[in-house]
Amino acid sequence: MARCIRLLISFDGTAYKGWQRQHHAPTIQATLEAGLAHICGHGVTLHGAGRTDAGVHALGMVAHFHTEVSHPLRAFVQGVNSHIPADIRILDATQAHPGFHSRFDAVGKTYRYDLCTGPVQQPTTRLYEAHFPGQLDQRAINACLQHLTGTHDFSSFEAVGSRDPAAGGRGAVRTIHDARFAQTGRNRYSFFFTGDGFLRHMVRNMVGTLILAGRTTISPERFAAILASRDRKQAGPTAPARGLFLETIYYDRNTFHEMINKYAAAPVSDQ
């Protein structure tokens, strides 16, 4: 009987054209499938919890595959890691129940977006944080973030043409349980977004628009109107991919809600 193996994966997305397998382009999925095939001795289809874009990083991507080989779980960590580039690493492997699906069983995700506001960016961070030189109004940004929390139609922050409206389902409606902005160092900041799902480019489009608010180019009231408009043309530019990290994917509802309650109790700085 085939085993369902669940993997916890971290990667630096700089050299890859995103997660999804493509012809004539390096991707995270294809690289991992090649390493898994070497260890399993057969072709492997790896199903990820989401499709990160080119240049986006992950600390906690989850994926699964099926195999009938009886290798110990450490073979899917140490063995595969020895056959793939060092910018991708399997952190853990567990045997899941046969019906587990890394995408459809997920109940929530947390993304982080890192940025630098100093006049000159350290070259060692250029691949892992975006550079937006100049001061940001944190009060204005926090006011905008309050408009994002809750259940909304996020069409204004969805990549144009990324989804077929005729496909049905919940469309562009998503729930953001927590959205916050924090200073992490001198001239360094991070956005954190936790929700039940995210549209293509949604986080990067929200960040690009929030930066406009931080620069007082738009007001929090205008930001709310942009969200309500459901019109991508009204929102700001797409922030660079290099600042985006997929931090955590949640599968246990109790753990997810405990985390949300913890965030809700934490104070938000307006400095």
Name the residue ranges covered by the structural domains of the chain.
Answer: 3-96, 108-265
Domain 3-96 and domain 108-265, same fold? Reply is yes
Q: What are phi and psi of 254, to 5 degrees?
A: -65, -45
Dump pLDDT digits (tens) for 22-79.
999 999 999 999 999 999 999 999 999 999 999 999 999 999 999 999 999 999 999 9
Band (pLDDT 50/70/90 cuts) for residue 257 is confident
The reported pLDDT for the residue numbered 160 is 75
Angle at 156 between CA 240 and CA 177, to 5 degrees: 85
> CB of 177 within 8 A of CB of 195?
yes
Mean pLDDT of 118-137: 97
Structure tokens that stand for 245 in this block: 């990290």
Q: Which helix (H) or strand (E) holds 250?
A: strand 244-250
Model confidence band, residue 170 (pLDDT cutoffs 50, 70, 90): confident
DSSP class of 22? B
Of residues 47, 38, 29, the one with CA closest to residue 69: 38
CATH of domain 108-265: 3.30.70.660
Closest Cα partner for 2 from 44, 34, 33? Answer: 44
Q: Is 53 a catalytic residue?
A: yes
Residue 163 pLDDT > 70: no
Record the pTM: 0.93
Share of the chain above pLDDT 90, in %: 88
87 vs 48: CA distance, rounded Å: 17
Q: Which CATH architecture has domain 3-96?
A: 2-Layer Sandwich (3.30)
Task: Indicate the average pLDDT of the chain.
Answer: 94
Catalytic, out of 12, 53, 114, 178: 53
